[in-house]
Chain A
Amino acid sequence: MDEHELIARVRAGEPAAERALYDAHVDRVYRLAYRLAGDDELARDFTQETFIRAFDRLDTFRGDARFSTWLHAIATSVALNGLRRTKRFRSQTTLEAADGVATSARSAEPDLKVRLHAAIDALPTRYRTVVVMHDVEGYTHEEIAASLGVEVGTSKAQLSRARAKLRESLADFAGEWAS
């Protein structure tokens, strides 16, 4: 059964079709949510909210773009808004503690992978999102642009700036990059 037919059956209220549509897309949505959140509880919340909204708003899906593109636009919106709220809460309570951990990890942990992950964490949200989607999860710039509601050129520019910032953060590992 192709996706158009599946969506038509979901619109007709078939529970089995809803489950089939969910099964077809849940892995990618959950993976992205987890990569962005770094937390299983949050990733589950974001994924669930994404599908709840998608099913509720399926009538607004016109079929101009692929369903996965439309679904990922919802997923990134849910995840980024959710992370903004969580970040505001956490930044008020754990900022000093987190700073201490980051500093000690930098001086005591020479492992490049650890440093890279910390540097990705430290990127501004818009840059981190593009790095995660493109370099970690393998989305194309077209998919990223459609999900984030930006131009393809913007996605490329943000990835370029994000990589430049990462390279700058990891400057003392330049030898390892070259090796």
Chain B
Amino acid sequence: MTDDRFEERLREMGRDYHRPPETPREEMWAAIVAGRRRRAEPRVSVLRPAWRWGLGMAAVLLLGIAIGRWLRPHQTVPTGGLATTATDVPYQVAATQYLNSTETLLAGFRADARSGHVDTLFVAQAHELLSSTRLLLQSPAGRDPRLKPLLEDLELVLAQIALLPGGRDTEDVNLITQGMDQQSVLTRLRTAIPAGPASAPRTQGAL
């Protein structure tokens, strides 16, 4: 076999490698015009409710971490179980808020997945919650032996949703919901959320 022959065959057969269909130029042009218009809007209107919601949650988590670090020298660090000391109250509040928000998102995502059309808003929300998951995993909440595996599973599911191509790939959506079912993610998530009206009483006085 000579190099020339190999390269010739490579080029011949390579023509069919991921052979592109006809360029969908009108559809793409419409998307480009819409995308540029959207990005040109003033920043204040770009900050949609989903982003504000995510940024708020991240702020709560960061505040919790700051308070936790400030209190840490004066408190005993718990070795296991749910956080109960004053040091961990901010994390507990943040974790409860996070779990509530994630449960809402995943329940909505599943419902949309069944109908075959996933709202792209879920993708943006998943992206935001993903940052909060990482912050929680690095906080004392992430050392809770009951919470940590759940947070890790949620991080994977949220990453999958956040990376959905346009939120419209049915095969990918099915893979995500199958994964959620196999890991009983929603059931474990609901079990982990403390009973009561969305943790409001716990929040008061904690921060």
Contacts and interface: CB of A to CB of B under 8 A. Distances in A.
Nearest to A36: B18
Contacts, number: 115
Interface string A74-95: 0000000000011011001110
Interface stretch (B32-40, B53-61, B103-111, B184-192): B32-40
A35 B160 contact: no
Main secondary structure of the interface of B (DSSP, over half): helix
B5 A177 contact: yes
Interface in B50-88: none
Contacts of B20: 30-31, 34-35, 43
Interface stretch (A5-13, A64-72, A128-136, A145-153): A128-136
Interface in A22-80: 22-23, 26-27, 30-31, 34-45, 47-49, 51-52, 55-56
Given A41-B165, A44-B27, A52 B39 contact: yes
A27 to B, nearest CB: 5
B166 A26 contact: no
Interface string B10-24: 110111111011011
A40 B21 contact: yes
B29 A178 contact: no
A178 B28 contact: no
A120 interface: yes
A49 B21 CA distance: 19
Contact of B23 (A31, A85, A174, A176): A31
B27 A174 contact: no
Nearest to B175: A93
Nearest to A85: B163
Contacts of A178: 1, 5
Given A31-B20, A52-B39, A116 B28 contact: no
A48 B32 contact: yes
B175 A94 contact: yes
Contacts of B29: 19, 22, 26
A26 B28 contact: yes
Contact of B9 (A38, A117, A177): A177
Contacts of A177: 1, 5-6, 9
Contact of B160 (A39, A42, A92, A135): A92
24 contacts: A23-B25, A26-B25, A31-B20, A35-B18, A40-B24, A41-B169, A44-B24, A44-B28, A45-B166, A48-B32, A52-B39, A85-B163, A92-B160, A93-B179, A113-B16, A116-B13, A116-B14, A120-B14, A131-B14, A132-B14, A135-B11, A136-B17, A166-B10, A178-B1
